[in-house]
A and B are shown apart, each in its own frame.
Chain A
């Protein structure tokens, strides 16, 4: 009682206190969350990364706790904050399910943020996709257009194949909606669905067609995009849509001819977005279709001539037009117009336009080379552009434009480019220079000089094939060996960068021709100081001990040094010392070389001179196929390639080895079944004359370089092809048809031993210096001869082609036939060295002989 009088009611007070405490606890537990903009402010105010991290972590922890407690009032705000945090790079995947809950909410604000979150936080690998598919299905049926819009937008962004399948029917229904806002979005959704699951295309076909009869540009452009995708997907659909070409032409015409419409105008051009899309679809429809192309020629010409070109927007349309003109079966006049547009682009001040021009010219250079040649100087200017993208394009285009007339100027620019370019350019650029030099070099000295400059400029970024082809060229160019070796010596002595390829080539040359640089004449020397023996040895010492040089380079140097012991007179002791010091090298290869070579100075000293003799000039086997050039393959080249066996190089090298030891270093080794595609370069003749010690005949060199053919093809329009080249193809034709059989020559027996007999029957081909030799190999033993291989070599003055044999197994009393074709331009006396190998009764038999009894009158 007393207590109540004093207002003390324990029960009441307990309840009040409890409630107050509960509220306080609730407030502490669930305060009004920080607003998005306050969070952004706090994060931006953080001065260090650590501070920012702590703000973010605190907020993330809080957001997680609200998610756990299913707080739906603040979910929208919390997700928005989470999306901001996500953009900063922090993990936010724990918000994925909350996004779905937002999407399921009836409020538009929630849906808007929920779908935004879904697009940002989900990708198609998530398991929640089944849930979101259901949400999307609901919203696609909403009566509010913007809710449908959000759902379509989300579907377009994150559609997985399963979602695409589940919702395709809904999208198709919406494509027929009376509401343009929904129709355009559904159109692009269908586009994405087809991209993910091409099989679903069928169901959209009927609704798609009608999109083109719209006035609304949004629906039109999405319709065109959708049709383009469909046409690119299936040839049937492509044919189906061929009939819309007139519709497209009409829409495009209306766009150009219609007056100013403020809604779709972009700096004086009417809806460039739609124009470009239509031009692209026309390209797809007109490709390889004469009729469709015919129907669009006029409108393309109109767009090309009527488009305002002072701004980027007009040029974007012209660019698309050029692409379309080049891709369809357009009239030649239209193509000239297109190339001229690109020419104008090249002179544009805007770098972007120039880049696009270079890019497109590269794609079209094979169509009209001479037109592109007119812009050569502008293209070369682009090599100096500060922009790497432009430089790369300019480089590729420059190489496509090199020909025998402009090789000197072009190479000068390209070598400067190579010297100054970044690493990524060095390998492709140097290989292309080597290729172009090989094809168009005006003379040997220029060719060698160019290769030397490449070695110096490209440093360590050279491909290996350049090293071997340079060595080969030096080897075969006897008249320039002293000159180039001196040049290489100078470059080697000056090299401070440890350029491995340069060192390898230089030491190879010095090793081979070391005596020549000591006795070089004034003509070879120019302003180079002739080195003394000691200087050379010193450099070798540096090379061999420098840790910068690779073991391969050191092997080159060691071999070369050993060779120098027979070329130099006064320094033999030092050479011997250096070589023997490698007997204890830690590198096993080098140690082996050291031990081997040391033997040559001791026990086998008498053999040294003969063993280390100068190598015979190497035969030209250039693997043109390895190096890609710009442009497409000539079809005839393609065919010949198919016939050519891949093992050609190895086989002929074996034969080269075989012949190398004997006196027949002047024999030209020819690959079996080599093909009539040897362009004869006359400049080679003079130099090679020197090589032919024994046979005093002029020697056309056969180069089987298919890579070169590509450049030839590129330049078809501008330079006349070598006569010899065309005549070779002609001969090929005559051979193939076997029309004329002028003179039959008696057969001769080339080989007859151990039951294997080889008979040649000769046949003169008309009006050429070519004789076909039909070889018949017969087996008179009682066992099978397997792995039968016939190889032949003729002097360099002749050209030999071998077709494939009829088989490799000769049964008892059976036979194998093979055809050889020998061209003898100088009507010389034919000698042929042949090598045979076969296996009989498990034993490998190898035979070798020379055939000298060819009748001479067959060449008359």
Chain B
């Protein structure tokens, strides 16, 4: 089971954090800081895996963003790379060639997409089409309840 997923930039700025285990805020921050420092210090040619406490850390860099997952001992680290890749593909499809700015300004969308791919740290949907369909339907639902011209002011903006 995946314990958490972090997205952060090359500058070490956190862009997204998804926790599937309960930790106090303080511990989450400590873990995040520790991992960001460790991973950013690694050279590009190094392998994507780290042993960290009793977890396996799997990370991969896409352009300026690092995707980092913590999985348990009996999880498959190679497949976790595929999960990360699948998530990137979904973001790409949704935003249309995604970049870091898309995720910064629409972080809630990035969370929504992740929540349709994973649930409780496990994969819930292996079809890209189904994930995007669910997201599109929910976006539509949101638009429908917001009158024309109202969204700008009353939505998230």
Verify if B130 is at the interface (C-beta below 8 Å from A).
Answer: yes
CB-nearest residue of chain B to A354: B47
Contact B122 A222 (CB under 8 A): yes
Say how far A471's CB is from chain B's closest CB, in angstroms: 35
Residues on the A chain within 8 Å of B145, using CB: 107-109
Verify if B49 is at the interface (C-beta below 8 Å from A).
Answer: yes
Q: Which of A80, A221, A222 contacts B108 (CB 8 A)?
A: A80
Residues on the B chain within 8 Å of A80, using CB: 108, 156
Near A by CB (< 8 A), chain B positions 111-152 give: 111-112, 115, 119-130, 134, 137-138, 141-142, 145-146
Q: Which of B20, B81, B121, B154 contacts A352 (CB 8 A)?
A: B81
Q: Which of A89, A120, A218, A354 contacts B29 (CB 8 A)?
A: A89
Residues on the B chain within 8 Å of A160, using CB: 22
Contact with A along B50-79 (1 / 0, CB 8 A): 110000000000000000000000101111
Contact B156 A352 (CB under 8 A): no
Near B by CB (< 8 A), chain A positions 384-413 give: 386-390, 392
CB-nearest residue of chain B to A36: B156
Near B by CB (< 8 A), chain A positions 2-47 give: 32, 35-38, 40, 44
Verify if A152 is at the interface (C-beta below 8 Å from B).
Answer: yes
Q: A37-B105, A112-B142 are in contact. Are A353 and B156 (CB under 8 A)?
A: no
Q: Which of A107, A120, A221, A392 contacts B123 (CB 8 A)?
A: A221
Contact A218 B82 (CB under 8 A): no
Contact B157 A188 (CB under 8 A): no
Verify if B96 is at the interface (C-beta below 8 Å from A).
Answer: no
Q: Which of A107, A153, A222, A355 contacts B115 (CB 8 A)?
A: A153
Say how far A160's CB is from chain B's closest CB, in angstroms: 7
Verify if A425 is at the interface (C-beta below 8 Å from B).
Answer: no
Query: Considering the chains assembled together, what is the distance between the CA atoms of A789 and B76 in angstroms?
Result: 57
Contact with B along A309-328 (1 / 0, CB 8 A): 00011011001100000000
Q: A146-B134, A319-B78, A389-B50 are in contact. Are A184 and B126 (CB under 8 A)?
A: no
Say how far B15's CB is from chain A's closest CB, in angstroms: 7
Q: Which of B77, B82, B141 contacts A266 (CB 8 A)?
A: B82
Contact A316 B43 (CB under 8 A): no
Q: Which of B19, B47, B82 contacts A313 (CB 8 A)?
A: B82
Q: Which of A87, A146, A280, A312 contacts B15 (CB 8 A)?
A: A87
Contact with A along B2-46 (1 / 0, CB 8 A): 000000000000111111101111000100000000000011011
Q: Which of A38, A153, A280 contacts B157 (CB 8 A)?
A: A38
Residues on the B chain within 8 Å of A93, using CB: 25
Verify if B99 is at the interface (C-beta below 8 Å from A).
Answer: no
Say how far B130's CB is from chain A's closest CB, in angstroms: 7
CB-nearest residue of chain B to A152: B119
Residues on the A chain within 8 Å of B22, using CB: 123-125, 158, 160
Query: Considering the chains assembled together, what is the distance between the CA atoms of A221 and B108 in angstroms?
Result: 26
Verify if A217 is at the interface (C-beta below 8 Å from B).
Answer: yes
Contact A316 B127 (CB under 8 A): no
Q: Which of B16, B50, B51 contacts A87 (CB 8 A)?
A: B16
Contact A316 B120 (CB under 8 A): no
Residues on the A chain within 8 Å of B48, using CB: 351-352
Residues on the A chain within 8 Å of B129, using CB: 263
Verify if B88 is at the interface (C-beta below 8 Å from A).
Answer: no
Contact B78 A316 (CB under 8 A): yes
Contact B77 A356 (CB under 8 A): yes
CB-nearest residue of chain B to A393: B51
Contact B120 A272 (CB under 8 A): no
Residues on the B chain within 8 Å of A271, using CB: 126
Verify if B104 is at the interface (C-beta below 8 Å from A).
Answer: yes
Residues on the A chain within 8 Å of B17, using CB: 87, 120
Contact B127 A217 (CB under 8 A): yes
Q: A320-B76, A356-B78 are in contact. Are A181 and B51 (CB under 8 A)?
A: no
Q: A87-B14, A389-B50 are in contact. Are A185 and B126 (CB under 8 A)?
A: no
Q: A218-B127, A386-B43, A389-B51 are in contact. Are A272 and B14 (CB under 8 A)?
A: no
Q: Which of B18, B51, B124, B138 contacts A184 (CB 8 A)?
A: B124
Most buried by A among B29, B123, B129: B123
Residues on the B chain within 8 Å of A312, using CB: 78, 81-82
Contact with A along B73-112 (1 / 0, CB 8 A): 0101111011100100000000000000000110110011
Contact A387 B122 (CB under 8 A): no
Residues on the A chain within 8 Å of B24, using CB: 123, 125
Q: A35-B156, A36-B156 are in contact. Are A123 and B23 (CB under 8 A)?
A: yes
Query: Considering the chains assembled together, what is the distance between the CA atoms of A152 and B81 in angstroms?
Result: 26
Query: Considering the chains assembled together, what is the distance between the CA atoms of A47 and B107 in angstroms?
Result: 22
Contact with B along A323-358 (1 / 0, CB 8 A): 000000000000000000000000000011111100
Contact A84 B107 (CB under 8 A): yes
Query: Considering the chains assembled together, what is the distance between the CA atoms of A120 and B48 in angstroms?
Result: 27
Contact A153 B130 (CB under 8 A): no
Q: Which of B105, B153, B155 contacts A109 (CB 8 A)?
A: B155
Residues on the B chain within 8 Å of A352, using CB: 47-49, 77-78, 81
Query: Considering the chains assembled together, what is the distance between the CA atoms of A107 and B104 in angstroms?
Result: 25
Say how far A708's CB is from chain B's closest CB, in angstroms: 28
CB-nearest residue of chain A to B138: A146
CB-nearest residue of chain B to A122: B22
Say how far B25's CB is from chain A's closest CB, in angstroms: 8
5 closest Cβ pairs, A-B complex: A35-B157, A156-B120, A316-B78, A351-B47, A192-B120
* Sampled A-B contacts (27; CB under 8 Å): A36-B156, A40-B104, A73-B154, A77-B157, A84-B107, A91-B25, A109-B145, A112-B142, A125-B22, A152-B119, A156-B120, A157-B119, A184-B124, A188-B124, A191-B122, A218-B126, A221-B123, A222-B119, A225-B122, A263-B127, A273-B82, A273-B123, A276-B79, A312-B78, A319-B78, A320-B79, A387-B47
Residues of A within 8 A of B (CB): 32, 35-38, 40, 44, 73, 76-77, 80, 83-84, 87-89, 91, 93, 107-109, 112-113, 116, 119-120, 123-125, 144, 146, 149, 152-153, 156-160, 181, 184-185, 188-189, 191-192, 195, 217-218, 221-222, 225, 263-264, 266, 271-274, 276-277, 280, 312-313, 315-316, 319-320, 351-356, 386-390, 392
Add 9 more A-B contacts to A35-B156, A123-B24, A221-B123 (CB < 8 A).
A37-B157, A89-B14, A108-B141, A125-B22, A156-B119, A157-B20, A222-B119, A266-B86, A352-B48
